[in-house]
Amino acid sequence: GELSSGKLTTTSVSSVTIPSLHREKSEVFITLQSVENEPDTSMAKREPSKLELDISQCKDLLSSSMHLEDNHHMEDICAQIVEHIHLFDEAFIPAYLTEDEAGVLVEQIMEVKKDLRARDEELKLLASTINQWKEELQGLSMWMKEVEVFLHAEDAAFGDLETLEAQLKESNALQEDILTLQPNVENINETGQSLLGRCDQEGQFRVELGQQLDHVNDDWEMTVTTANKQNEKLKKAFDKSREVVQLVKEINQFLDQLEGELAGSGVAPVTAAPELSQRTYKLLQLRDKADRKSEALQRLSTIEVEGGAGEMEAQITAVQDRWSEVTGPVHTTYSRMKEATTDYGEFKTLVAQEGDWLDRLEKKLRRSSKCAADAEEISEELDDLENCLNNHPEDRVDRLRQLAEGLGEKEILISPVMTEADKLTKRWEELERQARSRIKSLEE
């Protein structure tokens, strides 16, 4: 357009010929301003226009370091950027500028607006990132507070399998949650370090942000450590409780069975020799069973019962007492039957020996009574009878009587035992009397 004295002519950017630029009409609107006197178009000598000052102000804003700050500060920066963008809603380019100068100015306007919008997007992304980071931080902190209630709950009583199993199930689920959340925690730390790098290294906001990150990391480490310890403790308590319950059940079932097998063994008196050996063998089997099962009782006794397990301790004590009541008689009765078997065997041997000796003495006496012997034969017979009497074991009959009494005390009431000793004693007394009488007769 042309300038005339005292008149203002306006034109859009499309009326200015700038062959090297291709801009949309909606991007920049330019008004050419008139001047009162012939201007000096040298940009080095004239005063900068408002548009140039605005561009300079925007460049100063863009050249300043951008640090991450609190939301209020970030909102202020965003507002400043928006205000600077609006400075170019209507751009007034002085008409005294040459075509090349106007083109340079338009290029600067476009570049500054692009940089301002990029800065605005960067700030919005940064604000969105820190807001999301704080939400994740808050969510993790809330989860840890909820978990803390479970981690510090009162322990279930030792032996309470139902409650322990439920707590262990919940603890195992917590372990899975920790594994699931671990990548989130790592992401929080990675993002947190990135955000700290965007802060003013000497600023208070960086200190606050670092403290928040350190605090959540400390809480996370404490939560994981406590959860692991609790899980191990619950597993140990549950496994030990289950073992105690199983051992108590196993031992009681064995004692029930043993009581049934003991019925009739070692209670009623033994009245027959085969019954003595059968009962002894049966008691030996029961004793061996009890000895093998005693390993379970020893294992039960070595299990350390945790505090607050009064009921479980009572069950253990009860099964230990019952064990003594049931298995004690097995050992004592077996020992009695074994001793009785040995005594009965000795008794039968002595009876046979004594009977054989008495038979020989009786035979000597019968033969002696039929002989019409001379002096030499009488002397021989006399020596034979005296030797026979002298060689009779003095304690054998007493031992037979002692064994018979002992077997009776052990309730071994086998009929020969009760009569054999008396019969042999009487027979010995009678044969000894006859022998003494015969000796006396021969001596006369």
Instruction: Transcribe 294-339 into DSSP letters.
Output: HHHHHHHHHS-PPTT-HHHHHHHHHHHHHHHHHHHHHHHHHHHHHH
Give residue-wise pLDDT tens across range 201-243.
787 878 888 899 999 999 999 999 999 999 999 999 899 889 9
Residue whose C-alpha is closest to residue 105's, from 53, 37, 38: 53
In the chain, what percentage of residues exceed pLDDT 90? 24
pTM of the model: 0.60
Sign of CA dihedral 357, 362, 365, 366: negative
Orientation angle between helical segments 204-262 and 99-151, nearest 10 degrees: 30
Sequence-separated (6 or more) residues with CB below 8 Å from residue 1: 9, 11, 15, 32, 95
The angle at the Cα of 403, spanning 401 to 406, to the nearest 5 degrees, equals 110
Residue 20 pLDDT greater than 60, yes or no: no
| 365 has a pLDDT exceeding 60 | yes
Asked if residue 251 lies in contact with residue 319, where contact means CB atoms within 8 angstroms, the answer is yes
The confidence band for 71, taking pLDDT boundaries of 50, 70 and 90, is: low
Least confident window among 231-235, 257-261, 367-371, 440-444: 367-371
pLDDT for the residue 116: 77
| Residues above pLDDT 70, as percent of the chain | 79
Question: pLDDT tens digits, residue range 368-413?
Answer: 655 545 666 777 777 777 777 777 887 888 888 888 888 888 877 7
User: Of residues 144 and 49, which shows the higher confidence score?
Assistant: 144
- Point out which residues pair with 33 in neighbouring strands: 94
> In this predicted model, what pLDDT tens digit does every residue of 154-198 receive, in sequence order?
877 777 888 889 999 999 999 999 999 999 999 999 999 988 887
For the chain, give the longest Cα–Cα distance.
201
Higher-scoring residue by pLDDT: 341, 269: 341
Q: At what angle do helices 310-370 and 273-302 cross, to 10 degrees?
A: 160
